[in-house]
A and B are shown apart, each in its own frame.
Chain A
Amino acid sequence: MADVVLEAKGLSKKFKKGESHRSLRDFIPALAKRAAKGNLGLGKEEFWALKDVTFQVERGEAFGVIGHNGAGKSTMLKHLCGILFPTSGELKVKGRLSALIEVGAGFHPDLTGRENIYLNGTILGMSRAEIDKKFDAIVAFSELEDFLDTPVKRFSSGMYARLGFAVAAHVDPDVLIVDEVLSVGDFLFQRKSVEKMRQVMKSGTTVVFVSHNLRAIADLCPRSMLLEHGQVAAIGASGTVIKAYMERGAADSTPDESKDAYISKVTLRDIKGAEQVQFESGDTLRAEVEITARRPTTKLAVVIEARDEELYDVFNTSTQRLDHPSFNLDAGEKFIVAFDLKLHLVPGTYHFGCYLYRYDIQKNYDTRVPAGTFYVRANIDVRGVANLEPRLVRHEMLRSEKVG
């Protein structure tokens, strides 16, 4: 009998669309209406954020969760963490559960690094004695020894994130929930974080990993689950589940209400402007990304990427890295970004993805992976990643000079 530490049985959650009753003036008439109508089934403004989700995770397992925006991933995680409670169904968790959902939540800007380690540590469920013991390890991991007595408001966003991750990574839970946090800090720190993740997994901790980085899911988790419209669309070996996900392609993702701004449309075109997904190696692809703001949002940048069939990163860049100033949007405004990309790629299938990102606070507003799939052909047989456009310029025997 397998040792199940996490079990969801028919987990369902009903949400209301739109504004809930924020003031008494709205609430009292609504209450009267509800009393008159009764409260069974789905109301006009209600929808199932999760519907009949059933799965099990065994002790020591690394379990991946993937799905498009609005598929219910975050809602599910919040149930696992005990922040939200299901409308119906059951959820069982054995042991201490800790979540790396938003690192540094609970930091107070006016407090110093040291004070925040203790504050955040207790919020995440450690005792003060436990933090005393782990303090040096946390500080060493964050590499912030010299800034312990500086208020964190003077920290750069990278330092802030590092400290947050360092505290969260030292909670030593029985079940660890990870949501997209491995994209924190600079490149070296990311490597360190992934290393720490692997170490945590090796030590026998059960991990539930939610990410848009399908490569990371494939690498870290043997088993995964695909959520779609709040339901389990596929569950099983990660390879199969990821394939199912990719096949559904750039399914229309419904951005959930909580997003301030989102990627509303992604179009792949050829150089003439016609929609196109078939390209010759060396052709130019024009990727258009349309952003829509629901609420005023500032300092936005667009990140794009291309991945090969195995989901290895082939290429990525962003408006910021191309030295374009970030943009601000008011509620209801739309913004378009178009990139011309020269496809010096070997023949194959590629997935285009994009992110709406704010650099200074490292906030990801929206993700579209994959946003589209395109195919590259070439009239020569080249393999690998890049088409370096080989031209054979010499192909001859060298005259050997005989040594007398």
Chain B
Amino acid sequence: MTTPKKLSPVERIKTESHGLRGTLKESLLDEITGSLREDDQSLIKLHGMYQQDDRDRREERTAKKLEWLYSYMVRLRLPGGFMTSAQWQSLHHIAGEHSTGVIKITTRQTIQLHGIIKSHLKPTLKAFDLQGLDSIAACGDVNRNVICSAHPNQSPAHKEIFQYAEKISLMTLPKTRAYYEIWLDEEQLADRNEDDPLYQDRYLPRKFKIAIAIPPNNDVDVFTNDIGLIAVVENNQLKGFNIAVGGGLGTTHGNEQTYPRLGTLIGSLDTEEKILKAVYEVITIQRDYGDRSDRKLARLKYTLDRIGVDAFKKELEHRCGFTLDTVRPFEFTDRKDFYGWQPGPDGKWHYTLFVENGRVLDDENVKLKTALYEIAKTDKVNFRFTGNQNVILSDIDDSDKDTIDLLLEQYALIQHTSQAGPVRKNAMACVAFNTCPLALAEAQRYLPSLISKIEPLLAKYNLQEEEISVRMTGCPNGCARPYAAEIGFVGTAYGRYNLHIGGDKLGERLNTKFKESLDESQILETLNELFAIFKNEKSGNETFGDFSHRKWISKN
């Protein structure tokens, strides 16, 4: 056997943290700095927060004898991306009072607030707590926010399936009360049993993600998750789930050992008990077998490839005490949001609103934030966030539909949604600058303007109605899932992107790097050529992704 490798430093921080407490309380009291002590910066992630700094302002602040502009990003734990009107109203106020004011809908159906300074953290989390919201385990080496196909009209069984997101989320919550003590001033009791059979004191080797898809829509990109559950619905009845394991996208430039991977289907399960048990045991396998020395190779996808799928499945069945059934047939036909009004199976109405890159704010064109606040004030809607960074105003009674429609009209949101072209409406970009410490290039601040330049190219070839999925990230970590797009832009340096093509439309085939480190004019030039060829040579309804794959990728 190989000699045991040195544990990565984060491992020590986790195990010595006394249930994720570390010295967070002391760090918060340290008035001279807006940052946390180094170890606490790792621990705070498991409480759903990241220490960041405004990267645009570093030099100038240093010259002003100020430390970097440290602030915190808070990410909510929001299983399935569901929120009530009342919760949105307080979110609106909390964002205004404590953060930059921008509400960011993420690619995993939750909300992030940025720019919260240290002294505002506790007030922020307390305010969320009053609304029954928390950020526990939204980040860090634990199971993250569980996502689920968002639209209630997806299936009459949507409600039942959706509840699995909540169940799995609760099952995988860390047992420590640290969050309540540190942020909500709960008293620390010495004799409380905090034994955590799932996480023990080491937590997972790396982040862990679970998604639930309801065919035929793969809006959650189910195969990019560590565990993907695909609902099996027959005659409007939930019959169980297919289970895929080992999806994940993050890579590192120049590290050949890293790669994006789609999940592998290993079987199906038919009862709630078995489903939860299987999910639980996949996590324990990763806990026990995952690489704890090299964080770059610690995700389940690498563990799986190291062990082998068959051995993995055997271990899983062993731990579960039952065998998995064979994979049940399913088909995805879409991976997108259906904008506008849609009726649900129970007679309720749902309006899917386009939110470019998930950024809810008022700008000179649209007062999106104000509009959503006014809509929330009617108390007649629920908010459901989608894996494509949009929001569904949902569960609206027939009698209330006009009221909401009027507000949508009044704030020109209907126009805003319908006027955006198909490419823009299907596009995603990650946060990147100015808050993401890992960003190499811009993403959400840049993609909108790039799309404005791509659209005319498409129009030139009369391709403007093609729903080509375009996704951009500021680095190879893949937060906007660019490797699962038809056109993926992956930042390599400021203003430069690798161009990936050949992914399919449904998230079942990854794309491939086609060109490296292009600047904007090279991007446009390349796309111009590709579109011209696509226009001339595509067969029938062939999508750009499939065509690219056939034409430029599979041949190589």
A binds B: no
A positions within 8 Å CB-CB of B? none
